[in-house]
Amino acid sequence: MTNFTTDCTQCKRLANFLADVRDEYPDYFARPVPAFGDNNAQCVIVGLAPGMHGANASGRPFTGDHAGILLYETLYKYGFATKPESVSVDDDLKLVNCRITNAVKCLPPQNKPVAAEINTCNQWLSEELNALPDDFVIIALGSIAHKAVVMAFGKKQADYKIAHGAEHMLDSGVLIDSYHCSRYNTQTRRLTPEMFEAVFERAQELVD
């Protein structure tokens, strides 16, 4: 489907940072993290980037840190996952008509990729998203993911204004915006479980 490889070192700042992380945490995955789920899924969730002690450690998006708790509970509630918790890559969890990926595949320092890294990694995201079946639904978690999705389809950012719960027609599918399910957003109640569930309830309606 794609030429993406977990050995990618195109972004030197990220490659050097990951090398340092591997030295400090030799048991961590600490490489570009591949997407999780069905390549032919209608529903695709796009996050920001792997977290230090989450996907960067486990090798699976949103697995091992706080951000994944609400995500997988919500996926399970709306029929997109076979279990409400993602523990590790070998926990037998399956996604149902769903795929999870990130705008940036590598852990960035302070979880803040720079523009050049987002742009470089967009080649992989573009291949992923442009191979989706018709009537797809993309859920973008946060502003960087939203902008990366718009870029991946070659659209103008000004035509796609981000807002939680906003829906945008995107070629043969729909883009839905959500606040990111980060610890900060959930603990400050910027994003409540009810707000997050509303996004996935709408996604479920669109793919049914």
Any domain includes 144: yes
Any domain includes 2: no
Any domain includes 1: no
Residue 160 is part of a domain; what is its CATH number? 3.40.470.10
Any domain includes 3: no
Q: How far is CA 171 from the centre of its chain?
A: 20
Tally of domains in the chain: 1
Residue 4 has a pLDDT of 84
Does the global pTM surpass 0.85?
yes
Residue 2 has a pLDDT of 52
Residue 36 has a pLDDT of 98
Query: CA-CA distance, 157 to 31, in Å (whole number)?
Result: 30
Any domain includes 4: no
pLDDT in tens, the chain (208 residues): 457 889 999 999 999 999 999 999 999 999 999 999 998 999 999 999 999 999 999 999 999 999 999 999 999 999 999 999 999 999 999 999 999 999 999 999 999 999 999 999 999 999 999 999 999 999 999 999 999 999 999 999 999 999 999 999 999 999 999 999 999 999 999 999 999 999 999 999 999 8
The parent domain of residue 148 ranges over 12-207
